[in-house]
Amino acid sequence: MTRIRKTASAAWRGTASAGEGILDLGEVSLPFSLRSRVSEGPSTNPEELLGAALAGCFAMSLANLCEERSTPAERIDARATVHLVGTEEGFRIPTIELSCVARVPGVAAEVVRELAEQAERSCPVRLLYTAEVKLSVVVE
């Protein structure tokens, strides 16, 4: 069994509403804040990172499935939109929209869609989420 460990850390300074933090991803450090979570801001937020993680994992999973069929993808563009909703119990993420534009030469559009569905169901990051993931696929 292969085990790979990846570590990230977060440091926060100040109050929740006025403070700022730094997310350390090893080679990259990103500022984050509440302002960027609830409105536009120059820094990131945890929800954007969740979306990026899902989009990246999905794209790699789809590329892998295509490669396993000896039909490598030319291009896969994935985007995840994370919906953060305030409820009586606090903020929740009920839905993530995952969209994909894929170009896989020599493979029928329906086959690419089936592979995308399989990638969405099997990518490790997706398996962490309890949110409903709504997948849409455009094949070029």
Tell me the per-residue pLDDT of 93-136, one tens digit each, with 9 for 90 and over.
999 999 999 999 999 999 999 999 999 999 999 999 889 999 99
Pair 55, 119 in one domain: yes
Query: Cα(138)–Cα(104) distance, rounded to whole angstroms?
Result: 11
- Count of alpha carbons within 13 angstroms of residue 2, beta-carbon side: 1
Is there a single domain that holds both residue 72 and residue 127? yes
The structural domain count of the chain equals 2
Same domain, yes or no: 61 and 37: no
Full domain range(s) for residue 115:
46-139
Same domain, 18 and 53: no
Looking up residue 103, the CATH number of its domain turns out to be 3.30.300.20
Are 78 and 105 part of one and the same domain?
yes
Q: Are residues 70 and 112 in the same domain?
A: yes
DSSP 94-127: EEEEEEEEEE-TTS-HHHHHHHHHHHHHH-TTGG
pLDDT, tens digit, for every residue of 34-64?
A: 888 877 767 888 899 999 999 999 999 999 9
- Global pTM value: 0.89
pLDDT in tens, 3-17: 988 899 999 999 998
